[in-house]
């Protein structure tokens, strides 16, 4: 099978990035402000400075982690028909955006903070859209108990979505992580069933350059032990939290992913792990992260190439042009950058529904992003390259200077070889436009009114609510 793919490094450059990453980890090390995690790494062979919270990771330790990490696994779902295998064979699996703090009300158009009710609606919309294959907990619920936001968000998603779920980071470290695992185990049918088919994965962000927040690192250890996939997302910002050079940024994000891999594999050998980044340069005029920068496809391609080198599943690309309002307000160049970044061989991408550099999200934007993604993913389909598909015998029978239109071979095969464009969604693809937004809003309203997510078993609902109520009372203080 042949699939269009982009690469950016030749073999010598790839090797240099690898060697420099190992040098970063062994000579600079990583900062982890968690004594339990530092003790775990120290026992496993790292050189640890407990006073300053620095762990230096020798090459042997890093490469053992690479060797022990699984090269593929299943992302489970409430409905097994939505289970997804990593690595993918063609286009990336599209997830919604995550953690937006505002939305545009679907009825009034008012811009307002997001709630638990909004989170439920976004999860249901992701469940309904064919182009969405993973549901990230799209918005931050301001009306939830904030110290229990992570487990509550997962519980809302499990009730309103039957696909695989990405969750928010655990804010209370291992305690939060254990509660999320406990809740998901109820739905999966037990801890062993959850380990075999993990219904959720967790985004654990390193803090560039080369640092790990204590609660996130401690939660990562618990997720690894429970068999929950950890998606190690480096957000290296060229010129601010990583070198301004793109090569330097790739080494920084690669080093952070390898360090995170060491944490997971030291906690639990064979724990599922996803190499990830949402790195980008900063806008030198404003100091804000620039998702639409020309350099983003290079960073995605470099990250994908390094993930492939280590045999790790990856999420290193995103989807959407980060408009301020629902629609596609970006230029052709900005849209092209987004599309190119998805040809790098990533197994997953995220961003559906996102607005304003992921600060906002809109239900109608999920519709728009899903419809357009279904169109764009055709560019990443697999093509059979065999003697049969080359069709030399057909060439002989048609002969020189004649047409293949009258050949039975053409009539038999054109529908599976040539994709016919959907004229309706094609009309939505004008750049610098919000013309499709009213129609998308109508589709979103209709979908929410009609789409029903099967309810969890009554006993599971009762136990889950009781678990969360007890936990929220505990952490509320």
Hey, is 54 helix, strand or coil?
Answer: strand
Contact 368/327 with Cβ under 8 angstroms? yes
Confidence at residue 463, expressed as pLDDT on a 0 to 100 scale: 97
Across 406-424, average pLDDT? 89
Query: Which domains are present in the chain?
Result: 11-60 (no CATH), 66-380 (3.20.20.480), 387-417 (no CATH)
Closest CA to 189 of 453, 454, 459: 459
Closest CA to 212 of 195, 233, 198, 229: 233
Q: Could you report the per-residue pLDDT of 211-241, keeping only the tens digit for each?
A: 999 999 999 999 999 999 999 999 999 999 9
Across 188-203, average pLDDT? 98
Confidence at residue 422, expressed as pLDDT on a 0 to 100 scale: 80
Q: b or e along 40-72 (b: 16 or more beta carbons within 10 Å of the residue's beta carbon)? A: bbeebebebeeeebbbbbeeebbebbbebbeee
Across 456-463, average pLDDT? 97
Confidence at residue 1, expressed as pLDDT on a 0 to 100 scale: 64
Confidence at residue 16, expressed as pLDDT on a 0 to 100 scale: 98
Asked if residue 394 has pLDDT above 70, the reply is yes
Q: Which helix (H) or strand (E) holds 472?
A: helix 458-475
Q: Return phi, psi of residue 114, to 5°.
A: -90, 155
Contact 125/367 with Cβ under 8 angstroms? yes
Rg of the Cα atoms in the chain: 23
Confidence at residue 425, expressed as pLDDT on a 0 to 100 scale: 75
Confidence at residue 265, expressed as pLDDT on a 0 to 100 scale: 98
Determine which of 134-138, 211-215, 287-291 has the lowest per-residue pLDDT on average: 287-291
Contact 168/98 with Cβ under 8 angstroms? yes
Closest CA to 309 of 334, 285, 279, 275: 275
Q: Pull the structure tokens for residue 195.
A: 């380990």
Determine which of 74-83, 101-110, 273-282, 409-418 has the lowest per-residue pLDDT on average: 409-418
Hey, is 429 helix, strand or coil?
Answer: coil
The reply to whether omega before 230 is within 30° of 0 (cis) is no
Residue 416: which pLDDT band, with cuts at 50, 70 and 90? confident
- Residue position matching structure tokens 């931050």: 140
Hey, is 414 helix, strand or coil?
Answer: helix
Closest CA to 439 of 364, 376, 355: 364
Confidence at residue 432, expressed as pLDDT on a 0 to 100 scale: 75
Q: Return phi, psi of residue 105, to 5°.
A: -55, 130
Please tell me the distance from the alpha carbon of residue 259 to that of residue 30, in angstroms, as a whole number: 7
Asked if residue 477 has pLDDT above 70, the reply is no
HSE-CB at 210 with a 13 A cutoff on CA atoms is: 24
Asked if residue 322 has pLDDT above 90, the reply is no
Q: At what angle do helices 458-475 and 149-160 cross, to 10 degrees?
A: 160
């Amino acid at each position: 099978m042949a699939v269009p793919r982009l690469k950016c490094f030749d073999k010598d450059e790839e090797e240099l990035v690898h060697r420099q990453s190992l040098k970063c980890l062994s000579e600079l090390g990583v900062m982890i402000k968690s004594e339990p995690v530092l003790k775990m790494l120290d026992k496993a062979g790292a050189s640890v400075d407990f006073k300053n919270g620095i762990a230096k990771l020798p090459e042997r330790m890093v490469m053992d982690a690479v060797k022990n990490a699984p090269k593929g696994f299943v992302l489970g779902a409430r409905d097994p028909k939505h289970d997804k295998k990593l690595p993918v064979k063609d286009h990336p699996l599209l997830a919604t955006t995550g953690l937006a703090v505002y939305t545009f009300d679907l009825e009034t158009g008012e811009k307002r903070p997001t709630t638990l009710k909004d989170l439920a609606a976004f999860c249901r919309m992701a469940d309904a859209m064919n182009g969405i294959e993973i549901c990230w907990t799209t918005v931050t619920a301001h009306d939830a108990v904030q110290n229990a936001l992570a487990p509550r968000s997962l519980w809302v998603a499990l009730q309103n979505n039957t696909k695989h779920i990405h969750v928010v980071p655990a804010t209370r470290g291992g305690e939060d992580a254990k509660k999320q695992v406990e809740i998901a185990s109820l739905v999966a049918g037990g801890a062993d069933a959850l380990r075999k088919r993990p219904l959720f994965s967790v985004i654990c962000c390193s803090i560039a350059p080369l640092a790990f927040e204590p609660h996130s690192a401690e939660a990562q250890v618990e997720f690894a032990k429970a068999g929950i996939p950890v998606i190690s997302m480096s957000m290296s910002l060229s010129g601010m939290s990583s070198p301004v050079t793109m090569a330097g940024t790739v080494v920084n994000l690669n080093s952070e992913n390898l360090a995170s891999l060491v944490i997971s594999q030291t906690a639990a050998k064979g724990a599922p792990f996803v190499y990830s980044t949402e790195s980008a340069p900063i806008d030198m005029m404003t100091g804000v992260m620039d998702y639409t920068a020309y350099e983003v496809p290079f960073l995605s391609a470099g990250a994908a190439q390094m993930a492939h080198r280590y045999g790790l599943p990856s999420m290193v690309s995103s989807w959407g042009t980060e408009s301020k309002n629902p629609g596609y307000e970006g230029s052709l160049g900005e849209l092209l950058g987004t599309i190119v970044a998805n040809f790098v061989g990533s197994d997953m991408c995220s961003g559906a529904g996102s607005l304003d550099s992921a600060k906002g999200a809109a239900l109608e934007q999920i519709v728009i992003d899903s419809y357009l993604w279904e169109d764009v993913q055709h560019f990443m389909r697999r093509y059979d390259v065999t003697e049969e598909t080359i069709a030399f015998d057909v060439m002989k029978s048609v002969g020189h200077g004649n047409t293949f239109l009258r050949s039975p071979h053409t009539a038999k095969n054109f529908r599976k070889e040539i994709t016919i464009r959907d004229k309706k969604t094609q009309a939505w693809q004008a750049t610098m436009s919000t013309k499709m937004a009213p129609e998308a809003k109508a589709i979103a309203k209709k979908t929410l009114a009609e789409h029903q997510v099967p309810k969890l078993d009554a006993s599971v609902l009762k136990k889950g609510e009781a678990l969360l109520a007890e936990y929220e009372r505990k952490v509320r203080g």
